[in-house]
Amino acid sequence: MLEIVKPGLETSIQDYPGRIGFWNQGFPPSGPMDSWSFRLANLLVGNAAGAPGLEAQYMGPTIKLQGDSVIAVTGADMKPTLDGEPMAIWQSVAVKAGQTLVLGPARLGARGYLAVAGGIDAPQWLGSASTFHKASVGGLDGHASQAGQLLPVRAAQGTPGRRVKAGRQPAIAADRKWLVEAVPGPNDDWIDAAGHERFLATEWKLEARSDRTGYRLEGPDWTFTEKATDKPPENGSDASNIVDQGYPLGAINLCGQKPIILVHDGPSMGGFICPYTVPSAAFWKLGQSKPNDHYRFKSISVDEAQALARTLDEICSDDSIE
C-alpha cells in the first residue's frame, strides 16, 4: 500500500495505453502523457510496461510506504528523497515499510512517474485504471489522489538496482525549447502555403492555460485557402470552422486563430479544423514541457511518424534495462 501524505499538484493513477475503444462514445484514452518514461518505470520494477502507476504533474506527492517493495521514479527530475536522503531516478530501488518518499517540484521536465513492483491495484473502468478526473472516471474513485488515501499494490517481487541503459531515456530539453514532429492533416488543405510556412518557421509558446485536455499555443495568425471561406453555411462562420468531425489524439486543433494540441484527456470531436497532428512518438515531449516552453514544429510524413513509433516501442522494452 502507498499512503498519500501530500497529493502534490495533481497526482493520478494512469495505465498505458489507457481507455481504448470508447472514442465513439466520447471517452478519451487518458493514460500517461509521457508514456516513454512511464513504461520504463514499470519495466525497471519488473512490471508489464503498461501496469497502473502514478503520474505527478509539476509538483510531486509525499508518499508513506506501507510495505517493503521495489519502486522506480522516472520522467521529470523531481529530486526524490527517501527519508530525506536523495534517491536515484531511472533505476529500481528497494524500499522498506514506514519510509517516506518525497517528490518535489519538477526541476527538469514537467511530469514524474512512480512505478511500484506489482503495480497499483486500481479498479478497471471500461478496461483501464487511467484517471480521467474531468469526468470523475478511473483511478480509485474517479479523482486525482487525495491526502490520506491508501493506494493498494498488487503483490510482486521486484529487483532493486536495475537501471535504464545510457541513451535509452528521453532527452528532456534543459533549454525548454523543443523540436516537435507534426504530420500534415487531416485538414492541411485549409491552410495556404504562407500559413504552412509560418507554422513551421514560428517558435510557438506554450500558454499557462494548458492541461491534460489541451495545450494552447501562442504565436502568429493563420492564413487560409479558399476551402475555409467558400463552404456550406453549416460548417460555421469562422474560417477555422468545419462540420463537426472526429479528432485524432494529438491533433493541432485551430479554434479561430488559437492552435490547441488535443492531448490524452481531450475532446473526441468538434467543429474546428486540425491542420496538423502530433504523432504518438512525440507525445512525451508535450508531457515533459511546461508553460512558457517553446515549440518548433518539424513536418514529417505518416511513414516517418510510424517509424518513430516503432523505434520508441523498441526502446520501451526490457532491452533498455540493465
Partner 1 sequence: MIYDEPRFLPGGDRYVTVEFGNEMNLELNFLAQGLATALAQNGTKGVVETAPCFASLLVHYEPNDIRFADLVAELRALIDSLGPSEDIELDSRLFYFETMYLDPWTKECIADYCAKITEKEYDPDFVARINGLEDRHQLVRVHSGSEYWVASLGFWPGLPFLQPLDPRAMITCPKYNPPRTWTPQGTVGMGGSASAIYPVATPGGYQLFGRTPVPIWDTEKRFDVFDGNIVLFRPGDRIKFVPVTQAEYEAAEAKIDAGSYVYNMVDYQRFSVRNYHRWIATVDKDERF
- For residues 69 to 108, the per-residue mask of contacts with partner 1, x marking binding by CB under 8 A and - elsewhere, is ----------------------------------------
C-alpha 190/C-alpha 183 separation (Å) is 15
Q: Which is nearer to partner 1, 72 or 261 (CB)?
A: 261
Q: How far apart are CA 71 and CA 44, in angstroms?
A: 8
> Is 224 near partner 1 (CB under 8 A)?
no
Q: How far apart are CA 165 and CA 194, in angstroms?
A: 43
CA angle 60, 36, 305 (to 5 degrees): 135
What ranges make up the beta strands (E) of 185-232?
204-206, 214-218
Inter-CA distances, 187 with 75, 176, 254, 275, Å:
33, 29, 10, 4
Interface residue with partner 1, options 44, 93, 228, 281 (CB under 8 A):
281
306 counts as binding partner 1 under rule CB under 8 A: yes
Q: Which of 104, 105, 142, 219 binds partner 1 (CB under 8 A)?
A: 142
Which of 183, 217, 254, 316 forms a contact with partner 1 (CB under 8 A)?
A: 183
Is 243 one of the binding residues for partner 1 (CB under 8 A)? yes
Near partner 1 by CB under 8 A: residue from 110, 191, 228, 249: 249
Residue 14 or 128 having the CB closest to partner 1? 128
Rule CB under 8 A: is residue 25 a binding residue for partner 1? yes
Size of the site for partner 1 (CB under 8 A): 52
For 197, residues 6+ apart whose C-beta sits below 8 A from its C-beta are none
Can you tell me which residue has the cell 536515484?
A: 88
d(CA 242, CA 272): 5
- Which positions touch partner 1 (CB under 8 A)? 20-28, 125-126, 135-137, 142, 183-187, 231-232, 234-235, 242-251, 267-270, 274, 277-281, 302-303, 305-306, 308-310, 313
